[in-house]
Structure 1
Amino acid sequence: MSDAPGRDPSTTPLRVTPPSGGRRRRLVIGAAVALLVVIGVVAAVVVGRDPAPSGGTGPTASPPPADGLGTDVPITVDGDRILRNGQPWWLLGYNSFVWSGNCGDEDERMSAEQVDAWFSSMRHDGHGAVRLFFFENWDIDRLDAAVESAKRHDLYLTITLDDAIAGCGETEKDESWFDDQGERDAFRAHMTSLLERYRGEPTIAWFEYFNEPSYEGGALREFYDEMGAAAEEVDPDRLFATGTIAPYAVGEDADFATLNESPGVDIASLHEYDENEVESNHGPDVRGGSAGKPVIVGEFGLYASESGEECDRDFAERAEQARLKAEAYTTGAGYAGAMMWAWQPGPDNASECEYGNLDVDPTVQEMLRTYTP
């Protein structure tokens, strides 16, 4: 998320025609039917932050999927579109790096119960999504719990495997990193372990190799070729996104397109913090360099505070600008959706001018919950 000036990468991470062999992703949305519980939880979110699970303990439940498709819904790719059940599909949701106990400040880290309550507050129509991060040696039990919660609440997850900009204790992915066979082997082992664990699991829409990598003289393209082939051996239907910011952050003019041409890449990526634009000014170049594959806006963020006195916009103004961006990134040619930065519990920061305070912003939560193209 390097476009945003307020972000400290030392503590904060954070970015489908299939290859010729043809990858296909089948997504399963699990659903339960405790509707009254969800109404109470959603009401809690509208008026405040961090709704508690039903009865204070145990997982919450969501109503049946609003689109009526239920479970075992296939997701495929056709040119620059993602299809769900054979129909064009879009997603809209959040980023979070503090969902896990492995990153962020101590008072930001969420418990599994808080994650479940948060997921229960989101939309349940097959379009809700959350981008999570899961790096090497993180707590796999927490990821299992997040996947199960997402299934209950009809949400899709995208999971970023490593950080290229040295966030959350990870090292920068420069040329020396790519030249280190031990590092490559460790990444492959991490990736393979998750592919094996979640083989065929439809709630995980796709993985991302890295958050915000650079081209590194072509090493990134070669790495995506290699890791894509390795992934194909383990879970041939699994999709992968690049996690990139935009062409300007990926080498020379042609390098962005060359990267997306990799058979290991199914989804092109844009991260943007262009506050006063609807479609990012980098968007046309991203779509033009996507190698004909869908583009996901893996991150977008807007500064705001509750009153607006400390910022250029208040929560209502942020929600409206976020709605316009959602429209651009769900209906624009080549785009398949967007995820906003960021769900980040912790100290009450509604009065502070920042973009990591969506958990105390019920206005933008409502927009993300109810938006339709």
Structure 2
Amino acid sequence: MPDAPGPDPATNPIPIVAPPGRRRRLVIAAALALVVLVGVVTAVVVNREPAPTGGGGSTGSPPAADGMGTDVPITVEGDRILRNGEPWWLLGYNSFVWSGNCGDSEERMTAEQVDAWFASMRHDGHGAVRLFFFENWDLDRLDAAVESAKRNDIYLTITLDDAIAGCGESEKGEDWYDDQGERDAFRTHMTSLLERYRGETTIAWFEYFNEPDFADGRLREFYDEMGAAADEVDPDRLFASGTIAPYAVGEDSDFLSLNESPGVDIASLHEYDENEVESNHGPDTRANSAGKPVIVGEFGLYASESGEDCERDFAERAEQAGSKIAAYTTGEGYAGALMWAWQPGTENASECEYGNLDVDPTIQDLLRTFTP
């Protein structure tokens, strides 16, 4: 993985189903009526072409293809994620450099670059981006990103902290969970964002951590506690676990226990199993998701434009990514995938990377036009 949070492009281990869900989320009839009204009005807006790829921009954006935009809240029912009461899938990117608070100086993005990037994505109600936003980061930048996502019909998932010591955050081991000061600081960070964005449907869900481990059961206790705290502020807000896969948590039973937490609505898989369609960790993840939907919060494939000194060129990457995306949007229990990573500045088309999606128009076109 490029320098910063995210995966170790490594591998290994593997089983299938389980129980409860969070007691939340019914979309109210009045809200639906309003959504329909908005849809009728929006449908009148003139459609535009997407902005140029790779950082080109536009001052506006086309309406969502279904006329509803991100005013429609995302909900969960069993192992499905729903939008307007219908099964929904998401597809898009990861970025840890979007905020200017993380990454090398030459790869950090301005608010204008973020807006241009969002404008270049799909606008049909399925586009999504996973953004990292940690304690004491620039709230004005997050406000701008949320507004841009709303204009461009992009759903956001926001990761609140990094469990593997990236972007200036500390590793989340047993000592961290045992430190009440750390827990209190996390809770303050989480609840302040919940209060700030209460009712903001452009944010599909939050994620407690990027790639935590079980910490001898402390993670489950933490998710129980923070889920209860979140419910006090915004009981309709969804949360994802942010995990890599069962093997990275400990035992399958640990992974299941984690997803059984009432504080977890969506189970998470991160995979860099390059020459597989569904990851070999996928069956275990789905089997131990506690009957909740699974999103592939990260997946990546090394490539360079020419394929020189690399396993694949951009066209080959798009072909393989298309197979993975099909599995993760239509496969049983899956609800979508987010590719690693949009990371301007340090990579160019000739380098073998999986953080170079901003210079790969082939993958951008795939993510913009893919239909299951």
- TM-score calculated relative to the size of structure 2: 0.90
**Could you say what secondary structure the match of 1:94 adopts?**
strand
Deviates more, 1:260-269 or 1:16-25: 16-25
C-alpha distance in structure 1 between counterparts of 2:293 and 2:220, whole Å: 18
**1:168-212 C-alpha deviation (Å, 9 max, x unpaired):** 000000000000000000000000000000001000000000000
1:142-157 map, 5 Å: 142-157=141-156
Matched, 1:158 2:163: no
C-alpha distance in structure 1 between counterparts of 2:82 and 2:305, whole Å: 37
C-alpha distance in structure 1 between counterparts of 2:280 and 2:69, whole Å: 38
1:45-194 map, 5 Å: 45=53, 49-51=54-56, 53-54=57-58, 60-70=59-69, 72-194=71-193
- Structure 2: which amino acid aligns with 1:323? G
Q: Percent identity?
A: 79
**1:285-315 C-alpha deviation (Å, 9 max, x unpaired):** 0000000000000000000000001201000
Structure 2 CA distance for partners of 1:7 and 1:280, relative to 1, 3 Å: same
Matched, 1:308 2:321: no
Q: Tell me the equivalent position of 1:22.
A: 24
Q: Tell me the equivalent position of 1:3.
A: none
Checking the alignment, whether the CA contact within 8 Å between 1:12 and 1:104 is kept in structure 2 is no
Checking the alignment, whether the CA contact within 8 Å between 1:272 and 1:300 is kept in structure 2 is yes
Question: How many residues get paired?
Answer: 353
**Could you say what secondary structure the match of 2:204 adopts?**
strand
C-alpha distance in structure 2 between counterparts of 1:162 and 1:24, whole Å: 28
Q: Tell me the equivalent position of 1:330.
A: 329
Q: Tell me the equivalent position of 1:230.
A: 229
C-alpha distance in structure 2 between counterparts of 1:261 and 1:289, whole Å: 9
Deviates more, 1:14-23 or 1:103-112: 14-23
Checking the alignment, whether the CA contact within 8 Å between 1:136 and 1:190 is kept in structure 2 is yes
Q: Tell me the equivalent position of 1:210.
A: 209
C-alpha distance in structure 2 between counterparts of 1:200 and 1:193, whole Å: 14
Deviates more, 1:66-75 or 1:331-340: 66-75
Structure 2 CA distance for partners of 1:257 and 1:265, relative to 1, 3 Å: same
Q: Tell me the equivalent position of 2:242.
A: 243
- TM-score calculated relative to the size of structure 1: 0.90
C-alpha distance in structure 1 between counterparts of 2:217 and 2:339, whole Å: 30
**Could you say what secondary structure the match of 1:254 adopts?**
helix
C-alpha distance in structure 2 between counterparts of 1:355 and 1:66, whole Å: 30
**Could you say what secondary structure the match of 1:229 adopts?**
helix
- Structure 2: which amino acid aligns with 1:23? R
Deviation at 1:20, TM superposition (A): 4.7
- Structure 2: which amino acid aligns with 1:312? E
Structure 2 CA distance for partners of 1:251 and 1:348, relative to 1, 3 Å: closer
Deviation at 1:258, TM superposition (A): 0.4
C-alpha distance in structure 1 between counterparts of 2:73 and 2:252, whole Å: 35
**Could you say what secondary structure the match of 1:270 adopts?**
strand
C-alpha distance in structure 1 between counterparts of 2:321 and 2:148, whole Å: 26
Root-mean-square deviation (Å): 2.2
**1:5-24 C-alpha deviation (Å, 9 max, x unpaired):** x444xx34569998453235
Deviation at 1:105, TM superposition (A): 0.4
For structure 2, the residue ranges without an aligned partner over 5 or more in a row are: 9-17
Structure 2 CA distance for partners of 1:336 and 1:71, relative to 1, 3 Å: closer
C-alpha distance in structure 2 between counterparts of 1:258 and 1:284, whole Å: 17
C-alpha distance in structure 2 between counterparts of 1:191 and 1:71, whole Å: 22
**Could you say what secondary structure the match of 2:336 adopts?**
strand
